[in-house]
Structure 1
Amino acid sequence: MTTEVLQTADAPTTRDAGWRDVAAVIGARVLTRLQLVARAIRPLAWVLMALSVGFWILGQIAGWAEFTIAAVVIAITVALCALFLIGRTAYDVSLDLARTRVVVGERAVGALTLANHGTRAILPSRVVLPVGSGRGEFGIQRLAPGAEAEELFAIPTQRRGVVKVGPVSVVRGDPLGLFERAHRRDDPVDLFVHPRTIVFDGQSLGFLRDLEGMPAADLSRDDVSFHALIEYQPGDDLRHVHWKSTARTGTMMLRQYEETRRSHFVIGLSRSSGDYSTAEDFELAISAAGSIGLRAIRDSQRVDMRVQGRELPAGTGKQLLDSLSGVENSKPRDGGIADLAGILARTMPLASVVVLVCGAKVRADDLRLACSRVPFGARVLAVVTDTTVSSPALRRIGDADVVTVGALEQIPLALQKVLA
């Protein structure tokens, strides 16, 4: 008996909850529609509609026919402009960039294709193509069923970076600009604007022999990669005598080896704004890091690159340049080159060659500290960028070579001085 009473009492509550759910769904849909309508109304339209209502009320209260007529004219004008939103804009949009990777200074060329695959014509509209912080606009005429329209465009790339192109928006509006309805089409495309780099020849910046290294063309009396047998020379290490060959030939023969080279090449690029005098010095540092990294990749070395706050993908030349495209200045509180060198020592303790790249505002004491923090046994090269110098300069800080360059073209000559 008690159970029946409880079920009877709960029934109205369940029905009320169901109606509340239905009302919530309907309310959400109505709110979404109202938001879409509100987004299509420009500020000028709101002003005119407010004026129309104000003039109408003033005309009725004061009995002035002029205000009443003005209110009617404004209302009719707003209504006629709203009619321009009627109609579909169901274009099939295709955004195609000829190249998604360019070097700073080159122009990226692309094409925007709009097709009407419907059975009815599409009235004239406007297409907006966002490009980074700017945007391009194209006027599309009436498009008949089955017709296509193609617009070509060029994007100037004066600055390095990753530029987001798109998404394309098809805009319908009125001549007075009171209403505007935008429909997004297609997905955005990332345009990588790579830094300038320079290709140079010559041997890489030093190696260390390692069990996991690669054989080189240089021959050695003592290593782990066997190459051939040679005759004993006074002073050679007797531990490498090949006794079987010695017994067979009657001449003391020694094993000869190829030097194996460890190929872990690490680049630490400071992006701290406190390390650079000018923005040009910072861009030169990025170009220098990219050029040296590409040289190491061509030498089949494992390349790792790090900036303050994160490690940059650098497994291939494309990954390296893509990563450098998005590098931006950081605040001095994020640490300078000395802090970055400490992070390299902790995260990459087996590096064989470490290249530190920074600007001319780094003090000599900080640079000495940075060079002392690199992994033990690694060869250290510091590259300082200073666009005011006319020729590369070389100096020593402890066991590290420090080169100062003022232009990208000076890097090959500076590295020749290091290897000399």
Structure 2
Amino acid sequence: MLSVSRSPRFTTLLFGALFIYFVAVLFSLPSLFFMAAALVIAPAVSYLLAALGLREIRGERRIPSRLWPDEKVEVEIRLENRALLPKCLLRIDEDLPDGLGGDEASPPGCVVPMLWGDLTTCGYPLIARYRGRYRLAPLVATAVDTFDLFRARRQIGPSNEIVVYPRRVPLSIHALHAPTLDGMIRRSRPVASGVDFRGTREYQPGDDLRRIHWRSTARRGRPIVVEFEEPATTDLFIVLDVSPTAAQGEGRENTFETAVTVAASVIEYELEHGNAVGLYLDGPEPTHLALTRERHELLRFLEALALVEADAPRPLAETIARAGELVPHTAVVFLVSTDASAATAAAVTELTRQHAVAYGWIDPWGHPGAPESDAAGFLARLKSAGVAVFAIRRDDIAAGLTQPW
């Protein structure tokens, strides 16, 4: 839809024409009548130039639909003049959403003249600052006439959608597969199947009685148990706290954003090292990504984390109970949250009856506007229940995942 607005110069020109007209009448100067008439006709011509300046103009943006954090790309704007008349000046103004930024030296938008049948391109740099889904408004052009008295605006191209993936930090190693968890992982696994058979040996105190090989026991006259190969990798199922209380702090530098970074970093590490990983995100429409070790699935995980918001309709304790029903018994459940409530501690303790559990507690310290939290008692309670606890700070995520609390 075409909209035309007048500039302050129009009012100045109109008053100037009236002043010249009164002077011409007062002093009977015919030449001033012609000058006043010219000043009155000029706005009409200017209006026509502005209104016709956007006829048969088509445009589009060309920009990747998926970006990495801090990635800088060039937005290409293609303009085509399908009319038989040239256009004086076309201006493209862009209003970028919060989370996407431009370069101060090259602000979003461009100004180009166009001849008849002309096809031209212009552009500007764009920087992806924060994760999320962003919609760039439909492409709108402004036509400015020669006198700059009127400006016409019209949509000439479609909108664009951009998804920015979450930040990740490089992990050389993390303790989610450390010896401190090995006992829990073994206890969480059911008796292995025949395909994992390694051999037999004498019974030792603490061995699972279900592993006794009765035929060998009868033949040798003493208890014999079956040994199985332990899998070389550990399945990891991540449950991210997406309740409203998960976001503590101001703006984009809150604890929830740190938790998303932790989850994304661990998922990337797991898939790069051939380990199976899964993800559960609660919310109005929960997201459940089943265990996989396929590296090409990384982008699917990152896209889910790019779009997630702290808007779950239930507290973390209820989310843990729901997620526990989805996690295979062979997987370690890794909970990521800043929650240190008694209800959450009880839910995590209950979860340890069925699964090996690790808890990544996001320390509010270092997040602008986040309240201080003394979670020592909460973390000690989890540790006494057999949970591997990790205290993670925003400024050193890798170190927080290296050594259990």
On whether the aligned pair clears a TM of 0.5, the verdict is yes
Kept after mapping to 2: 8 A contact 1:263/1:301: yes
CA distance in 2, matches of 1:112, 1:369: 56
CA distance in 1, matches of 2:256, 2:196: 46
Question: Which residue of the partner structure matches residue 318 of structure 1?
Answer: 299
Question: Which residue of the partner structure matches residue 21 of structure 1?
Answer: none
The 5 A counterparts of 1:152-231 are 152-174=123-145, 176=148, 178-201=150-173, 204-205=176-177, 207=185, 223-227=192-196, 230=199
Kept after mapping to 2: 8 A contact 1:265/1:302: yes
Task: Report how far residue 139 of structure 1 moved.
Answer: 0.5
The answer to whether residue 79 in structure 2 is matched with residue 114 in structure 1 is yes
CA distance in 2, matches of 1:366, 1:242: 49
The C-alpha deviation readout for 1:163-210, integer Å capped at 9, x for no partner, is 223532233244546442313314413142422333333575564665
CA distance in 2, matches of 1:86, 1:92: 14
Question: Which residue of the partner structure matches residue 96 of structure 2?
Answer: 131
SS of match in other structure, 1:259: coil
Task: Report how far residue 401 of structure 1 moved.
Answer: 2.7
The answer to whether residue 241 in structure 2 is matched with residue 269 in structure 1 is yes
Identity of aligned residues (%): 13
Kept after mapping to 2: 8 A contact 1:268/1:306: yes
Identify the match of residue 348 of structure 1 among 326, 344, 348: 326
Which is greater in Rg? Answer: 1
Question: Which residue of the partner structure matches residue 369 of structure 1?
Answer: 346
Kept after mapping to 2: 8 A contact 1:108/1:154: yes
CA distance in 2, matches of 1:144, 1:43: 26
Question: Which residue of the partner structure matches residue 384 of structure 1?
Answer: 361
Task: Report how far residue 379 of structure 1 moved.
Answer: 1.9
CA distance in 2, matches of 1:355, 1:229: 30
The C-alpha deviation readout for 1:235-264, integer Å capped at 9, x for no partner, is 487843787xx99xxxx9986422358846
CA distance in 2, matches of 1:72, 1:335: 72
Q: Structure 1 residues 44 and 128, CA, compared in 2 at 3 Å: closer, same or farther?
A: closer
CA distance in 1, matches of 2:315, 2:39: 63
CA distance in 2, matches of 1:234, 1:341: 37
Kept after mapping to 2: 8 A contact 1:195/1:321: no
Q: Structure 1 residues 136 and 232, CA, compared in 2 at 3 Å: closer, same or farther?
A: closer
Question: Which residue of the partner structure matches residue 104 of structure 2?
Answer: none
CA distance in 1, matches of 2:365, 2:396: 14
SS of match in other structure, 2:396: helix
Query: Relative CO higher for 1 or 2, CA cutoff 8 Å, sep ≥ 6?
Result: 2
Gaps of 5+ in 1: 1-35, 60-68, 212-221
Identify the match of residue 407 of structure 1 among 394, 397, 401: 394
TM-score of the superposed pair, with normalisation by structure 2: 0.66
SS of match in other structure, 2:301: helix
Identify the match of residue 255 of structure 2 among 267, 271, 281: 281
SS of match in other structure, 1:372: helix
CA distance in 2, matches of 1:408, 1:308: 28
Aligned-residue CA RMSD in angstroms? 4.5
Task: Report how far residue 138 of structure 1 moved.
Answer: 1.1
The 5 A counterparts of 1:26-105 are 36=1, 40-42=3-5, 76=41, 78-84=43-49, 85-97=51-63, 100-103=66-69, 105=70
SS of match in other structure, 2:75: strand
Kept after mapping to 2: 8 A contact 1:223/1:257: yes
Question: Which residue of the partner structure matches residue 294 of structure 2?
Answer: none
SS of match in other structure, 1:371: helix
TM-score of the superposed pair, with normalisation by structure 1: 0.64
CA distance in 2, matches of 1:227, 1:196: 35
CA distance in 1, matches of 2:386, 2:226: 33
**Number of corresponding residues:** 342
